[in-house]
Structures are given as C-alpha cells and as structure tokens.
Amino acid sequence: MRALLLKDLYLTIRYHWYMVPISLMMFTIAVIGYGNIFFEVYPLIFAALIPDSLIAEDKSCGWIEYVNIMPFSRKQYVSAKYIYSAIIFAVILAFVFISHSVRFAVGNGSVPGTEILFAAAWLLLAPTVTMPLIFRLGSGRARISYIAAALVIGAIVPIYTDAELMYRLQPSVHIAAMLISLLLFAVSWLLSIKFFERREL
C-alpha cells in the first residue's frame, strides 16, 4: 500500500507540479480580494480531478495491466487511489482554511469558514461519481465520467459567485453537506472495489 501511495505521489509531482504555483496564486488573490471565495476553493478543483488523471496515467503507460502479477490485490490498488485522493483533498482543504483565516485577519473575509466545507462537499462528488465508472469501464470507455466531473465542478461556480446565497445557507447545512459527501465517497470506494475485482484487464 505504501509503495502504491508513493507511486501516485511521484506521478503527481511529475505531471501535476503546476498546481502548486497556480494554487499559491489563487490563495494570494483570495487574501487580497473581497466578496466570494471562489479563488480560495479553486485549488480544490485540482484535488477533485487528480484521481481520474492518475488512473488514466496508469492506463496510458500500461502499468494497470500488470496489476494481477503485482504483490498487492486489486482491492489494495483501488484503496490506495481513494486514500491518496483523500490525503490530497485534506491537505489542500487545510491550506484553503489557512488562506481563509488570513483573509479574515486582514479584514477581507465576508463569509464564515463553513462555506469552504460546502464547496469541498460539492467538489468531492466529482471523484465520488467518476472513479466507480472508471474502475468498471476503464478510463477510455468512461469518458462520460469526465463530463460528469465537469458538470459537478461547473455547478459550484454560480453558487460561489453569489455571496447573498452563501449568507442564506446556515453553517449546519454546510457541515451536513460535507458529511453526506464523505458517506457517498465511502460508498463509491466500496463500489469501485467490487467493480475492479470483477473487471477483466
């Protein structure tokens, strides 16, 4: 499991290094800006898309075809993808909260911190929906999953450009949305294991 997580980390550094400077730029804009928190949650979009990208990389280099002869099970392979996705998401979410705290400290904050959880809940739905499809059909045949991810991410944009709507939602709604999203993520994890164990490579 540790080796699988390290492999994904190396792939992320190699193919997704650009998300670090872009995220820092977005955090900076968020701190000096005012109004909606779209720039703060924007880096979470990277976290939502990385899992699908890593699976596609495994497929494109032919690595996934060797799963059956590797010293780990298909269940471990799927679990590693979900665990790594959760780690990446949690790390970026922590930086988003830090950015939000700095924004409040300099007097540019306009919404409570739980708003970020609401954004994270929406964006976590992207890998939740797409990963079972990819493990069931393969990254090539599951192109519809990328459309689904784009729709999920696109749905959140108008919400976070409407500050008034954010004020009308209670913090309890934000927290409940995150808990529901985490539950769906766990269900997605189990489904992906079932699908991948039955799939012919």
Q: pLDDT tens digits for 9-59? A: 888 888 888 888 887 787 777 667 655 566 777 787 778 778 888 888 887
Of the candidates 164, 165, 96, 161, the one whose C-alpha atom is nearest the C-alpha of residue 124 is: 96
Distance, in Å, from the CA atom of 68 to the CA atom of 79, rounded to the nearest integer, reads 15
The predicted model scores a pTM of: 0.80
B/e letters for 128-150, b = 16+ CB within 10 Å, e = fewer, are bbbbbbbbbebbeebeebbebbe
Tokens matching residue 12: 């992320």
Q: At what angle do helices 38-60 and 19-32 cross, to 10 degrees?
A: 170
For the segment 151-194, what is each residue's pLDDT rounded down to a tens digit?
A: 666 665 555 555 555 556 677 777 888 899 999 999 999 999 99
The parent domain of residue 42 ranges over 2-198
What is the tally of structural domains in the chain?
1
